[in-house]
Structure 1
């Protein structure tokens, strides 16, 4: 670092300019009380270049190196012929700082590179992700995945040290794209089923789901006993329709969710049982509807499996990518411990612990998980 004297030089107030190898230009002033202070800072600093926050202190170096008395100004800065020479300790400080930062960067890159060493990625350093854009599960904004599943996918990729490359396609094409290795992974509120395990590898759950009773606020219907005799709306073709008929409700079947929602708003039905994520998201986005969606209190019942069962929302990968699947499961486990999945889901109105409470049954044991496998649960969340 070579100094040069600039305007403002006097015996009591000397200003010097230093240009370091890190492209930082700094003005120091030797002011009357003998202290050296930074009075201007130009261009990019080393801190800004590497993404570290700019120090808030006004002093260029730690107080132990800079706050010097008048009698040792020459000893500290070597004032010779009006041109200061920085002490070796200052140089060592800068070299040490740069070296430390470099080591941190190397360590971070090494961690990212080794986070999933040997993973069967379609393209090195990238995670090709299939999505269909159906919110609240997946979407795209400013080139980045959004939605509950999309946000969680971003967090998983960050832990693996890879870049997400979104690939939009129809839902029917996602599984085939995974099987043929055109993409690494698919997502979009996909539920685990035993049949799907024969075609793709499914991750551990990222959250859970189950049926909800959607109603006007204050109605308070949350179990089957309260449902009897009520006007209940749902869609044609849902598998739980026969079970609803057995309960003894006044069943109204609709072709679309919009028509059912309009009837609930108009008071023509008392309760709706629709696609849980869709109705939860609708309630969140349109609070003026005055709806609330309450989880069904009953635990899993063999007589009403479709109504009482909870499902697991998972990601899907190729059967030929076991290493990648293992790394993603480790990242998912970390998100459960840190509540990262809850944080992502809360942005879209899914903050109720219902979405993170596992089913009472474990159908995956002996299918694609060991007999002692347990559902992941949230860690300590604030």
Structure 2
């Protein structure tokens, strides 16, 4: 049985070195004398509408400045294409629906390019790995060992539906990773599932907590555990020019080292960047 936990806690912010990168990028406002790298239409001419959760290290937004990996990517993508960013922050679970309903051109953050998502939104080539992990104090990597126990998860995670199908644990579904992680820290929740990079970031902030993360072992029902999580940029469907522009930007930034630089800026390990050949780039 699924139990939904609602939380009104504010989302945490994480800018770290992101502001430095943005200054180096020179801002992202559209300019009349700017020549875009790619040609494509957006929902509002001259504007790139972005929707994302305030969820470090993937995306943050404070005082009009985007941070986190996707935030820095969107900043450069908008600048290179002479667009002014317009940002809406909302919980992760609302990102795909917002893009699907054409309330935003692009969305993040840390979203996997699943077949189900591909039916309703556009998907890009993958960018970096972000495998599912169990977080807790000495967490077990084997899902079957949580039979009859409580597992926390967050609205919008692609493995939630499969966990419900598995049905052997009591799922506690949170609106935000902040709320779930707060319960993990306090001991109110024994274990939760989270993207590995999100877990790495959060645990690094509380080194004395005794918390750790372990990759989820492959499972015949929760097939999301059977491969490395891969992230992409969701965007409006049936806009092939936008898909091509995003893929061009991802490939270019991968090749010239910009993506590696962003990973360094937001303090993520360099080895999570997916190689060009594996990402389907020539």
TM-score between the two structures when normalised by the length of structure 2: 0.64
Q: Deviations over 1:287-333 (max 9, x none)?
A: 2325443446x6x6757634333222222222242112211111011
Structure-2 change in CA distance of 1:284 and 1:348 (3 Å):
farther
Kept after mapping to 2: 8 A contact 1:148/1:348: yes
Q: Please tell me whether the aligned partners of residues 50 and 86 of structure 2 are also in contact (alpha carbons under 8 angstroms).
A: yes
Aligned to 1:319: 237
Q: What CA distance in whole angstroms lies between the structure 2 residues aligned with 1:158 and 1:210? A: 30
**Bigger relative CO (Cα 8 Å, ≥ 6 apart):** 2
Distance 1:294 1:377, change over 3 A: farther
Residues 61, 89 of structure 2: 8 Å contact kept: no
Q: Quote the offset at 1:377 in angstroms.
A: 8.7
Whether the 8 Å CA contact 1:357–1:377 is kept in 2: the answer is no
Is residue 37 of structure 2 the alignment partner of residue 115 of structure 1? yes
Q: Do residues 350 (structure 1) and 268 (structure 2) align?
A: yes
**Aligned equivalent of 1:260:** 184
1:228-307 alignment runs, 5 A limit: 234-235=151-152, 238=160, 239-240=162-163, 256-263=180-187, 272-276=191-195, 277-295=197-215, 305-307=223-225
Q: How many residues align?
A: 237
Distance 1:168 1:243 in 2: 32
Partners in 2 of 1:303 and 1:137 — Cα distance?
Answer: 28
Match of 1:337 in 2: 255
Query: Residue 262 and residue 304 in structure 1: after superposition, are their counterparts in 2 closer, same or farther (change >3 A)?
Result: same
**In the alignment, which residue of structure 2 is the partner of 1:135?**
56
Residue 328 (1) aligns with residue 252 (2): no
CA distance in 2 between counterparts of 1:241 and 1:173 reads 20
- Give the whole-Å Cα distance in 2 for the aligned partners of 1:236 and 1:176: 19
Deviations 1:7-37 (A, max 9, x none): xxxxxxxxxxxxxxxxxxxxxxxxxxxxxxx
CA distance 1:357–1:120, change in 2 (3 Å): closer
In structure 2, stretches of 5+ residues that fail to align are 1-30, 155-159, 174-179
From 81, 88, 92, give the equivalent of 1:167.
88
Q: Deviations over 1:206-229 (max 9, x none)?
A: 32211235466xx7x8966xx979
Shift of 1:199: 1.4
Q: Which structure is larger by alpha-carbon Rg, 1 or 2?
A: 1
Q: 1:169 Cα deviation (Å)?
A: 4.3
Structure 2 CA distance for partners of 1:341 and 1:292, relative to 1, 3 Å: farther
1:150 aligned residue: 71
TM-score (norm 1): 0.49
Q: For residues 183 and 212 of structure 1, do their structure 2 counterparts lie closer, same or farther at Cα, with a shift above 3 Å needed?
A: closer
Alignment of 1:90-105 (within 5 A): none
RMSD over aligned Cα atoms: 4.2
Encode CA deviations 1:20-56: one digit per residue, 9 max, x unaligned. xxxxxxxxxxxxxxxxxxxxxxxxxxxxxxxxxxxxx
Could you tell me whether the CA contact under 8 Å between 2:136 and 2:192 is conserved in 1? no
**Alpha carbons of structure 1 residues 182 and 259: separation in structure 2 relative to 1, 3 Å:** closer
- What whole-Å deviation, never above 9, does each CA across 1:73-104 have from its counterpart, x for those lacking one? xxxxxxxxxxxxxxxxxxxxxxxxxxxxxxxx
Decide whether aligned partners of structure 1 residues 346 and 289 sit closer, same or farther in structure 2, where only a CA change above 3 A counts.
farther
Q: Deviations over 1:327-355 (max 9, x none)?
A: 111101122223433433444442262x3
Deviation at 1:192, TM superposition (A): 1.6
